[in-house]
Amino acid sequence: MRNSTQEKLILASSSPRRRDLLAKAGIVPDSIIPADIDEQALDKEAPKNTAQRLAVQKALKVWEDSPKDSFVLAADTLVEVRGNELPKAETLDQAIHCLKELSGRRHHVYGGMAVVDPSGKITKRLVTTSVHFKELDDAEIQTYLDSGEWEGKAGGYAVQGLAECYIKKISGSYSNIVGLSLYDTLDMLRRAGYLKS
């Protein structure tokens, strides 16, 4: 992919998975500047709305503090099961909770995405992927906990690792589950004017 302008691209995320996904498409951000914002959901806010709102806030926060010759790309990934948002698993107890909630059920992965162009115009999009987990027995849950792959992951799992063995069906973007829908990212960067068609 070729940049159609002399402007730079800033990725407003420290996620190595998002960097790797962009690299697959031949895109290397000029800068990586994680956005420092409050990522808590608002009262009674639906998870999909939280994901979209946070992506926009992250992009704008970084854009406001950056040189105005830059495009800013931001994203936020949330997992919802039975109408409830699952946490980004930071502790063993959170990981156990997530895996038990996911076991035998369909859930949604919401990828909020936002691009701010040098003029401040926002392009935003929400990508939804449906994922169906098999029913997990205690041994499978323990194996996954022992893998450590759950650490810091939305919903307590990483689809690109061992968890893929537990997934019966995916409807929608696979890369959205990893952290950034590549199709939608490239389309948004074209529409915003960063990439040539």
**CATH number of the domain residue 186 falls in:** 3.90.950.10
- Residue 67's pLDDT band, with cuts at 50, 70 and 90, is confident
Select which of 76, 117, 137, 187 is catalytic. 76
Structural domain of 180: 8-192
Residue 83 in domain: yes
Model pLDDT for residues 83-112, shown as the tens digit of each residue = 999 999 999 999 999 999 999 999 999 999
Residue 61 in domain: yes
Residue 1 in domain: no
Active-site residue, 76 included? yes
Domain count, the chain: 1
The pTM assigned to this predicted structure is 0.93
**Taking the CB of residue 128, how many other CB atoms lie within 10 A of it?**
16
Selection from 90, 71, 78, 93 nearest residue 46 by Cα: 78
